[in-house]
């Protein structure tokens, strides 16, 4: 209310005055009400936004050279008393290097920013592909039924039990270097099953509702019904599945990369995990090396979880009163 | 529980093995060149003197087993025949060690660590979640739930890494790696057991901490739904004691889907424990897989993966069989 445009309160024309205030007020009430009713969705979105901003702005502003091996230099006194510029690995956080430098004298702050961007990009690709395949198969199975549905159900039931990380390890052990994009595609292709289940179950309950029957009697085709009747009703479910898919993909990619099987040439949080595990950041007590990526991952995943929970509340009203 | 139901579940189990086995067969062959042959040629070039005989023997045994000159269907058939005999060939890195024997040597450590921690996490998490769903105090909802979300959000191995730092570097009270002290001769006595438990605390705590949230949040959700059901209202109106309503009415019913949760969680825990084991140098399946990957030991990789998938599939099958026994409401014929 404090930020409300006060010019609207000035009495010019009685009629417009009433209407403006009324509209402004209801809109504000609506927005604040929606936020209050869905704190989780709102707070989760804020967390994600913060991480995305950090990654995008960071990688735009910071020179990419800072993420290269041997970037950091510092002045040191040599044995003969002269001051020389030497490569400076394992520096603690300072004004020049906000998160310090790692074993290879890379600027950790810069690396985390670029790495977060790489990981987000990978998760986005995986999420879109997974959700695309999953929604399509879910619709086909749920709407048309028959043997096609049976095949989809059995296949997704079987695949969902095979741990994704195991499948990824098998595939990538035989592949040459993966790029971030290829890994995204790969993860998307193997993680559509959850979405298929959710979408299929919803389509099954929706397709016999009265309004779908009405559309059929009105002579609408299958495609039209799917687009105009089913998709709008499924949107919150698909959105929640998408968020879950992105979170799952990011965790998978980090696990794979931490084993040294992910993309090796582009910065990512997973590759960073590989470095700090392999080169003993923990025994060396370099908390500034392993701390920042863990914090970024935690914030991001918590944010995605909160969004999923918020979307669930929209899709499933019974949960609404409980949180 | 009908025969039909058991058969269908068994069919599912067989299908999982079939899909996984076929993927395991197909993936290496998707490459234009054969990675195993490449690797062996590489070994042949590196090896000199004594080793060269080993490598030649390895190649001979490999060709005999897989006969890459055979047509594809023949290779596929041979592959399944070998699998049926639990014959995964010999490890490349530890030639002539048998893959199955290597796996069996690591399996007990993983089963012990993952099994015990999963059960503990399920029990602690479920009752914690039940309490959260029951009290609905603002403190519980606004502080404990986000806390659970955070520990669940951080992957096992990263949580483990943080704990490793806290308890071995910052405040060194626990051993930082391995499953037992190599200086203590293994025997079935108190020192050995204490030593093994001490080594399992950190990796175990990492697994428990990050899965307690999963169980707790799931249970809380189910409790909330159950509490809205009419039979709870009826129990309240009948004037039953709170304790009884909580345990016999709410928890008893909310607990059932947690059993399915166990099924979903198994694959997740197994994957996560691979990384935990690597981090803590715990000599289980995960570490074996890691060494296999770093030394391009393809047979060992295949063997470990098939055993893991077999184990996960088997556990799912068992859970599927237990479920109708504990949930009388379910009629499987219609499912």
Tell me the DSSP string of A145-166.
-HHHHHHHHHHHHHHHHS-HHH
Q: What is the pLDDT of residue B297?
A: 78
CB B129 within 8 A of CB B217: yes
Interchain proximity A166–B155, CB inside 8 Å:
no
CA distance linking residue B63 with residue A170, whole number of Å: 21
Which of the given ranges, A29-38, A58-67, A194-203, B219-228, has the highest pLDDT on average? Answer: A194-203
Residue A229 has pLDDT above 80, yes or no: no
Model confidence pLDDT, tens digit, residues A45-72: 999 999 999 999 988 888 777 777 777 7
Domains of chain B and CATH, by start: 99-326 (1.10.3720.10)
Per CB-CB distance under 8 Å, the chain A contacts of B23 are: 162, 167, 170
Measured between CA atoms, the residue of chain B closest to residue A244 is B153
CA atoms lying within 13 Å on the CB side of residue B225: 15
- Chain A, chain B: beta-carbon pairs less than 8 Å apart: 134
For residue A221, the SS3 value is coil
For range A201-216, the mean pLDDT: 81
Global ipTM: 0.76
* pLDDT of amino acid A121: 93
Query: Cα separations (Å) of B88 from A218, B167, B216, B293?
Result: 61, 39, 40, 16
Highest mean pLDDT among A224-228, B53-57, B227-231, B324-328: B227-231
CA B250 – CA B265 distance, rounded (Å): 23
Q: Which pLDDT does position B335 carry in this prediction?
A: 41
For residue B231, give every residue at least 6 positions away whose Cβ sits within 8 Å of its Cβ, in sequence order, or none.
Answer: B249
How far apart CA A315 and CA B41 sit, in angstroms, is 58
CB-count exposure of residue B240 (10 Å: 0-12, 13-18, 19+): middle
The backbone torsions φ and ψ at residue B128, rounded to the nearest 5 degrees and listed phi first, read: -65, -45
Instruction: Kindly list the residues from chain B whose CB atom is less than 8 angstroms away from the CB atom of residue A286.
Output: none
Residue B86, class by beta-carbon neighbours within 10 Å (0-12 exposed, 13-18 middle, 19+ buried)?
Answer: middle
Interface check B154 vs A, CB under 8 A: yes
Cross-chain Cβ contact B16/A258 below 8 Å: no
Instruction: Report the chain A residue with the minimal C-alpha distance to residue B33.
Output: A174
Angstroms from A158 CA to nearest CA on chain B: 5
> Is A255 in contact with B272 (Cβ distance < 8 A)?
yes
Question: Residue B24: enclosing H or E segment and its boundaries?
Answer: helix B3-29
Q: What is the CA radius of gyration of chain B?
A: 24
pLDDT for the residue B224: 80
CB contact under 8 Å between B169 and A161, yes or no, is: no
Residue A199 CA: distances (Å) to CA of A151, A164, A209, B131, B316: 16, 20, 16, 32, 23
**What is the residue whose two structure tokens read 């204490």?**
B194
Rounded Cα distance, B98 and B87, in Å: 8
Contact (CB, 8 A) for B127 and B258: no
B129/B247 Cα distance (integer angstroms): 13
For residue B118, what is the enclosing H or E element?
helix B99-135
Please judge whether A306 and B149 are an interchain contact, meaning their C-beta atoms are less than 8 angstroms apart.
Answer: yes
User: Using a CB-CB distance cutoff of 8 angstroms, which residues of chain A are in contact with residue B274?
Assistant: 165, 255, 259
DSSP at A208: T
Q: Which A residues 214-273 touch B at CB under 8 Å?
A: 251, 254-255, 258-261, 273
Query: Which of these ranges, A152-161, A244-253, B131-140, B214-223, has the smallest mean pLDDT?
Result: B131-140
Residue B180 vs residue B23, higher pLDDT: B23
A173 part of contact set with chain B, CB < 8 Å? yes
Nearest CB partner across the interface for A305, out of B24, B153, B301: B153
Asked if residue B96 has a cis previous peptide bond (ω within 30° of 0), the answer is yes
* Mean of pLDDT over chain B: 78
B90 forms beta bridges with B98
Using 50, 70 and 90 to split pLDDT, how confident is the model at A207?
A: confident
* Per-position DSSP letters for B11-23, written without gaps between them: HHHHHHHHHHHHH
In the numeric block, which tokens belong to residue A4?
């409300």
Chain A 81-120, CB below 8 Å of chain B: which residues? none
Distance (Å, rounded) from C-alpha A243 to C-alpha A241? 5
Distance separating alpha carbons of residues A316 and A313, to the nearest angstrom: 5
Structural tokens at position B288: 């074996």
Rounded Cα gap, residues B162 and A290, in angstroms: 8
Task: Output the pLDDT for position B334.
Answer: 44
Which of B161, B228, B306 would you mutate first to test chain A, the one with the most A CBs within 10 A? B161
- pLDDT of A36 reads 64
Whether residue B137 lies within 8 A of chain A, CB to CB, comes out as no
Say which range, A90-94, A140-144, B123-127, has the weakest mean pLDDT.
A90-94
The confidence score (pLDDT) of residue B187 equals 66
Name beta bridge partners: A101.
Answer: A107
Q: Which residue has the tokens 């055993």?
A: B307
CB contact under 8 A, B267 and A170: no
Q: What pLDDT digit, counting tens, does each position of A2-49 carry?
A: 444 444 444 444 444 455 555 555 666 666 666 666 788 888 899 999
The verdict on a CB contact (< 8 Å) between B158 and A251 is no
Most confident of A128-132, A180-184, A208-212, A305-309: A128-132
**pLDDT above 70: residue B183:** no
Residue B35: pLDDT over 60: yes
Q: Say yes or no: A153 contacts chain B, CB-CB below 8 A.
A: no
The label of the residue with tokens 């099953």 reads: A193
Residue window 65-124, chain B: list those with CB within 8 Å of chain A: none
With beta carbons under 8 A apart, name residues in chain B contacting A260: 293-294
């Amino acid at each position: 209310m404090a930020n409300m445009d006060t010019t609207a309160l000035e009495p010019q024309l009685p009629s417009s005055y009433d209407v403006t205030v009324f509209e402004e007020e209801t809109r504000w009430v609506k927005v604040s009400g929606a936020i209050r009713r869905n704190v989780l969705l709102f707070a989760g979105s804020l967390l994600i936004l913060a991480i995305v901003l950090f990654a995008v702005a960071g990688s735009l502003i910071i020179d990419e050279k800072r993420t290269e091996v041997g970037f950091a230099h510092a002045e040191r006194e040599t044995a003969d008393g002269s001051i020389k510029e030497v490569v400076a690995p394992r520096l603690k956080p300072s004004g020049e290097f906000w998160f310090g430098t790692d074993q290879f004298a890379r600027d950790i702050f810069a690396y985390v920013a670029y790495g977060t961007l790489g990981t987000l990009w990978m998760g986005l690709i995986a999420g879109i592909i997974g959700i695309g395949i999953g929604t399509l198969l879910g619709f086909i199975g749920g709407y048309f039924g028959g043997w096609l549905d049976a095949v989809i159900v059995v296949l997704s039931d079987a695949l969902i039990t095979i741990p994704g990380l195991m499948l990824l390890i098998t595939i990538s052990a035989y592949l040459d270097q993966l790029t971030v994009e290829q890994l995204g595609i790969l993860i998307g292709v193997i993680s559509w099953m959850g979405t298929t289940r959710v979408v299929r179950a919803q389509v099954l309950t929706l397709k016999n509702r009265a309004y779908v029957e009405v559309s059929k009697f009105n002579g609408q085709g299958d495609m039209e019904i799917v687009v105009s009747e089913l998709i709008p009703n499924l949107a919150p479910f698909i959105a929640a599945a998408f968020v879950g898919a992105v979170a799952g993909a990011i965790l998978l990619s980090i696990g794979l990369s931490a084993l040294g099987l992910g993309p090796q040439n582009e910065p990512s949080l997973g590759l960073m995990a590989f470095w700090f595990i392999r080169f003993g950041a923990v025994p060396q007590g370099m908390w500034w090396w392993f701390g920042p990526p863990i914090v970024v991952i935690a914030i991001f995943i918590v944010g995605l979880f909160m969004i999923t929970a918020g979307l669930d509340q929209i899709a499933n009203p019974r949960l609404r009163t409980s949180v | 529980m009908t025969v039909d139901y058991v058969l269908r579940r068994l069919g599912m189990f067989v299908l999982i093995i079939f899909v996984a086995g076929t993927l395991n067969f197909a993936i290496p062959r998707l490459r234009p060149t054969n990675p195993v042959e490449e690797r062996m040629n590489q070994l042949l070039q590196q090896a000199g003197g004594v080793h060269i005989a080993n490598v030649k023997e390895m190649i001979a045994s490999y060709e005999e087993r897989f006969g890459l000159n055979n047509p594809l269907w023949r290779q596929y058939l041979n592959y399944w025949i070998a699998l049926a005999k639990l014959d995964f060939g010999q490890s490349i890195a530890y030639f002539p060690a048998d893959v199955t024997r290597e796996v069996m040597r690591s399996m007990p450590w993983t089963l012990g660590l993952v099994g015990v921690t999963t059960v503990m996490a399920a029990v602690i998490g479920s009752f914690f979640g039940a309490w959260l769903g029951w009290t609905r105090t603002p403190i519980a909802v606004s502080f404990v739930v986000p806390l659970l979300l955070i520990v669940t959000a951080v992957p096992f191995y990263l949580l483990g890494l943080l704990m490793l730092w806290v308890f071995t570097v910052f405040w060194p009270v626990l051993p930082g790696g391995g499953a037992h002290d190599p200086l203590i001769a293994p025997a079935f006595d108190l020192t050995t057991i204490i030593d093994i438990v001490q080594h399992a605390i950190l990796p175990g705590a990492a697994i428990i901490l990050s899965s307690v949230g999963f169980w707790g949040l799931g249970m809380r959700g189910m409790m909330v739904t159950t509490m809205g059901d009419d039979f709870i209202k009826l129990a309240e109106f009948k004037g039953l004691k709170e304790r009884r309503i909580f345990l016999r009415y709410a928890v008893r019913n909310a607990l059932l889907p947690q059993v399915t949760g166990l099924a979903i969680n198994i694959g997740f825990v197994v994957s996560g424990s691979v990384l935990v084991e690597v981090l803590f140098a715990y000599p289980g399946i995960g570490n074996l897989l890691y060494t296999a990957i770093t030394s391009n030991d393809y047979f060992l990789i295949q063997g470990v993966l098939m055993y893991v998938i077999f184990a996960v599939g088997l556990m799912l099958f068992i859970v599927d069989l237990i479920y109708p026994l504990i949930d009388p409401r379910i009629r499987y014929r219609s499912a």
